[in-house]
Amino acid sequence: MADTVAKFALDDASVVVIVGTGSGGGVLANELAQKGVKVVALEAGGRYLPDDYINDEWDSFAQLSWGDMRTTSGDWRVARDFANLPAWIVKAVGGTSIHWAGASLRFQEHEFKALSTYGPVDGANLLDWPITLAEMEPYYDRAEKKLGVTRTNDLPGLPGNTNYLVLEKGAKAAGYTKVSTGHMAINSVENDDRMACQQTGFCFQGCKWGAKWSAAYTDIPRGEATGNLEVRDHCHATRIEHDETGKVTGVRYIDKDGAEQFQQARIVSVAGNAIESPRLLLASASERFPTGWPTARGRSGATICAIPPARSMRSSKSPYICGAARPWRGSCKTRPITAPIAALSAATSWKPCRSASPSWRRSWIRAVGGASSPRRSTATRIWPACGSWERICRRKPTASH
Ligand X SMILES: Cc1cc2nc3c(=O)[nH]c(=O)nc-3n(C[C@H](O)[C@H](O)[C@H](O)COP(=O)(O)OP(=O)(O)OC[C@H]3O[C@@H](n4cnc5c(N)ncnc54)[C@H](O)[C@@H]3O)c2cc1C
Residues at the interface with ligand X (CB under 6 A): 19-25, 42-45, 88-92, 95-97, 99-103, 204, 236-237, 271-273, 276, 280
Residue (204 or 360) nearer to ligand SF4, CB: 204
CB of 213 to ligand SF4, least distance (A): 9
Distances (CA, A) of 29 to 41, 176, 242, 268, 310: 7, 41, 22, 11, 33
89: closest CA among 56, 52, 64, 53?
A: 64
Residue (200 or 226) nearer to ligand SF4, CB: 200
- Residue 273 interaction partner, one of ligand SF4, ligand X, none, beta carbon < 5-8 Å per kind: ligand X
Residue 186 near ligand SF4 by CB under 6 A: yes
Could you give the count of Cα atoms lying within 13 Å of 208 in the half-sphere of its Cβ?
16
Residue (172 or 381) nearer to ligand SF4, CB: 381
Residue 328 near ligand SF4 by CB under 6 A: no
CB of 301 to ligand SF4, least distance (A): 33
CA torsion 337→340→346→348, rounded to 10°? -120
CB of 226 to ligand X, least distance (A): 20
Interface stretch with ligand SF4, choices 103-111, 138-146, 196-204, 258-266 (CB under 6 A): 196-204
- Residue 43 interaction partner, one of ligand SF4, ligand X, none, beta carbon < 5-8 Å per kind: ligand X
Interface stretch with ligand SF4, choices 132-140, 197-205, 271-279, 350-358 (CB under 6 A): 197-205
CB atoms under 10 Å from CB of 100, counted, come to 19
Taking CB positions, which residue lies at the least distance from ligand X? 22
CB of 160 to ligand SF4, least distance (A): 12
Q: What is the rounded CA–CA span in Å between residue 320 and residue 299?
A: 49
Residue (151 or 266) nearer to ligand SF4, CB: 151
Residue 197 near ligand SF4 by CB under 6 A: yes
Q: What values do phi and psi take at 76, rounded to 5? A: -75, 165
Residue (159 or 323) nearer to ligand SF4, CB: 159
CB of 55 to ligand SF4, least distance (A): 8
Residue (240 or 337) nearer to ligand SF4, CB: 337
Interface stretch with ligand SF4, choices 121-129, 204-212, 220-228, 303-311 (CB under 6 A): 204-212
> Which of 207, 268, 324, 341 contacts ligand SF4 by CB under 6 A?
207
Residue 199 near ligand SF4 by CB under 6 A: yes
- Per-residue HEC secondary structure of the chain comes to CCCCCCCCCCCCCCCEEEECCCHHHHHHHHHHHHCCCCEEEECCCECCCHHHCCCCHHHHHHHHECCCCCCCCCCCHHHHHCCCCCCCCECECCHHHCCCCCECCCCCHHHHHHHHHHCCCCCCCCCCCCCCHHHHHHHHHHHHHHHCCCCCCCCCCCCCEHHHHHHHHHHHHCCCCCCCCCCECECCCCECCECCCCCCCCHHHCCCCCCECCHHHCHHHHHHHCCCEEEECCCEEEEEEECCCCCEEEEEEECCCCCEEEEECCEEEECCHHHHHHHHHHHCCCCCCCCCCCCHHHCCCCCCCCCCCCCCCCCCCCCCCCCCCCCCECCCCCCCCCHHHHHHHHHHHHCCHHHCCHHHHHHHHHHHCCCCCCCCEEEEEEECCCCEEEEEEECCCCCCC
CB of 211 to ligand SF4, least distance (A): 4
- Residue 25 interaction partner, one of ligand SF4, ligand X, none, beta carbon < 5-8 Å per kind: ligand X
CB of 94 to ligand X, least distance (A): 7
x/- mask, ligand SF4, residues 361-380, rule CB under 6 A, reads --------------------
Residues 209-248 that bind ligand SF4 (CB under 6 A): 209, 211-212
**Number of shown-chain residues binding ligand SF4 (CB under 6 A):** 12
Residue 200 near ligand SF4 by CB under 6 A: yes
CB of 96 to ligand X, least distance (A): 3
Residue 99 near ligand SF4 by CB under 6 A: no
Contacting positions for ligand SF4 (CB under 6 A): 186, 197-203, 207, 209, 211-212
